[in-house]
Structure 1
Amino acid sequence: MRTLALDIGNTAVKYGCFEGDVLLETAVLPAVEQVNTLLARLTPQHVVVSSVAEDTGRWAQQWQQLVRGRVLEFVPATTSLPIRNAYATPHTLGADRLAAAAGAAWFWPGQSTLIIDAGTAIKCDWVEDGRTFRGGSIAPGLRLRFEALHTFTGRLPLVAMPTDTAAPVTLTGDDTQAAIRSGVLNGAVAEVNGFIDAYQAQNPGLRVVLAGGDAGFFQPRLKGRIFVIPELVLIGLHRILVHNVEN
């Protein structure tokens, strides 16, 4: 069975094409209008679409005319899931967080995982025993932190992310830009490592999985054994689609 998972963001569309459970192809489209061409080329039997940016109803209706199977709109509060959602306000829950949880539960059934999704926001989410999404934390991502220091102060400059994300970050900045880099980057690493320590203290044997656009920065700086799965959200969307098609 060939499926297509679509994750519509604020500025682009990430997609993953699966044959069975094998991820055949993944990339980013600059505009949602390009999905029609993608469907014609990949000819998936079923499609799942998720968005944290906009309503997907009109797109789903359009794509249904091009797909011989099902086009599933993933809505965290109502879509049937392969895991239990214990979030107190499911109607406010970001689809990407729940999709990542479904992906982690599929990789490690029966095992607790902590998902660190480092992108526009840094999200740390706990999946208990591979069965239940419990929730977690949301904090500004690296670029948001740089931008906030510049926007909400009178004189602090806007500092860009380092182009070489593997380069060491000086602990003690000896000028303002270096001090901002240390505060944002070293501070974010210390914050995430603190979450890892706290969750592992409560859940011995907890697995930690890292995803998101800034995963490459965090990977060498986090404590312990870290599993890096950049396409975890797409994999989770695929598993949600399979669950709905088969049930």
Structure 2
Amino acid sequence: MSYALLIDAGNTRIKWALAAPGAALGDWHAQGAHLHADAADFPAALDAAARGMPIGRVLAANVAGPAVKDMLAGWLAAPQLGIDAQGVEWFASVAQRAGVRNAYRNPAQLGCDRFAAAIGAHALAPGKAIVVANCGTATTIDAITADGTFLGGMILPGLGLMATSLARNTAQLPQIKPGKLPEGFADNTDDAILTGCLAAQAGAIERAFALHRAAECIISGGAAPYVAPAVPVPHRHVDNIVMIGLHAALRCA
């Protein structure tokens, strides 16, 4: 018996999870997340979490560039982890996988995190027209049909990027931190920025939901706890939808 290791290397953080054989989607034996600046903590944290149980397969999605991929590959080859190089797969967007057909004009051009999120959303809600919103450094909003066709979607700056852009490119607007959506119209500048940024995120999700005539919306990502309460359409907050998609892809391999 051995664990499956799932890795989601995004623009801000490297997230990972260990799944035991037969585990339900999202039921991790252990998980962790490291900012890129603290990524050197990853091998020790993984070694401690595995507790001597072998890691048989690795599926890693990387959108953070070749340097991060090389760094991760070096760590996965560490002798103490005992991972066979033949068991390491770098997840990529293809024409079809795990019950999802990729209808992107050039399937390989689709970000592998978006494809994994689509697989995860379809696995959690089979037979439903779904919109999946992954609210991270960027916010991606994608549509999957009831029969598992990934139609495409939208990409916009994430909540933090929107707020930072206003702070950097205006003379008198402050940098704000995400927080609870103010009720009604904001009566101070910090809340006005937050209201505007959250309304933009929620409005894009609502538009995608209506355009797709979706039955449900799945919201994930680091900013999801702030964005989800502002979304007026039926939705659920799911942690780590990319890793759930990776897990589903491994189970179907």
Q: TM-score, normalising length from structure 2?
A: 0.81
What is the Cα deviation at residue 38 of structure 1?
4.5
What is the Cα deviation at residue 10 of structure 1?
3.1
Q: Tell me if 1:207 matches 2:216.
A: yes
Q: Deviations over 1:62-90 (max 9, x none)?
A: 62562246111112248x62121111133
Q: Tell me if 1:191 matches 2:191.
A: no
What is the Cα deviation at residue 221 of structure 1?
2.6
> Could you tell me which amino acid in structure 2 is paired with residue 197 of structure 1?
A
2:194 to 171, 177, 181: 181
Cross-structure match for 1:234 = 243
What is the Cα deviation at residue 58 of structure 1?
6.2
1:8–1:32 CA contact under 8 A, matched in 2: no
2:129–2:212 CA contact under 8 A, matched in 1: no
Task: List runs of 5+ in structure 2 lacking aligned partners.
Answer: none
C-alpha distance in 2, partners of 1:188/1:224?
13
DSSP-derived class of the 1:151 partner: helix
What is the Cα deviation at residue 114 of structure 1?
0.8
Cross-structure match for 2:150 = 133
Cross-structure match for 2:43 = 36
C-alpha distance in 2, partners of 1:192/1:16?
28
Pairing 1:74-93 to 2, within 5 Å after superposition: 74-77=91-94, 81-82=97-98, 83-93=100-110
What is the Cα deviation at residue 39 of structure 1?
4.7
C-alpha distance in 1, partners of 2:72/2:122?
29
* Cα pair distance change 1:158/1:72, threshold 3 Å: same
1:57–1:73 CA contact under 8 A, matched in 2: no
What is the Cα deviation at residue 111 of structure 1?
2.4
What is the Cα deviation at residue 29 of structure 1?
2.9
C-alpha distance in 2, partners of 1:118/1:29?
17
Pairing 1:1-247 to 2, within 5 Å after superposition: 2-19=3-20, 20-22=22-24, 23=27, 24-30=29-35, 31-41=38-48, 42=50, 43-55=54-66, 56=69, 59-60=72-73, 63=76, 66-68=82-84, 70-77=87-94, 81-82=97-98, 83-162=100-179, 165=180, 168-200=181-213, 203=214, 206-244=215-253
Q: TM-score, normalising length from structure 1?
A: 0.83
* Cα pair distance change 1:179/1:36, threshold 3 Å: closer
DSSP-derived class of the 2:93 partner: coil
C-alpha distance in 2, partners of 1:230/1:130?
23
What is the Cα deviation at residue 189 of structure 1?
2.3
DSSP-derived class of the 2:117 partner: helix
C-alpha distance in 1, partners of 2:146/2:184?
37
> Could you tell me which amino acid in structure 1 is paired with residue 34 of structure 2?
L
* Cα pair distance change 1:174/1:37, threshold 3 Å: closer
Task: List runs of 5+ in structure 1 lacking aligned partners.
Answer: none
- After the TM superposition, list the runs of 4 or more consecutive aligned residues in structure 1 that deviate by more than 6 angstroms: none
What is the Cα deviation at residue 104 of structure 1?
1.3
Q: Deviations over 1:141-194 (max 9, x none)?
A: 1111111112222332222222xx3xx414323333332222222333233223
DSSP-derived class of the 2:55 partner: coil
* Cα pair distance change 1:61/1:184, threshold 3 Å: closer
DSSP-derived class of the 1:174 partner: coil
Aligned residues: 235
* Cα pair distance change 1:33/1:130, threshold 3 Å: farther
> Could you tell me which amino acid in structure 2 is paired with residue 156 of structure 1?
L
* Cα pair distance change 1:185/1:221, threshold 3 Å: closer
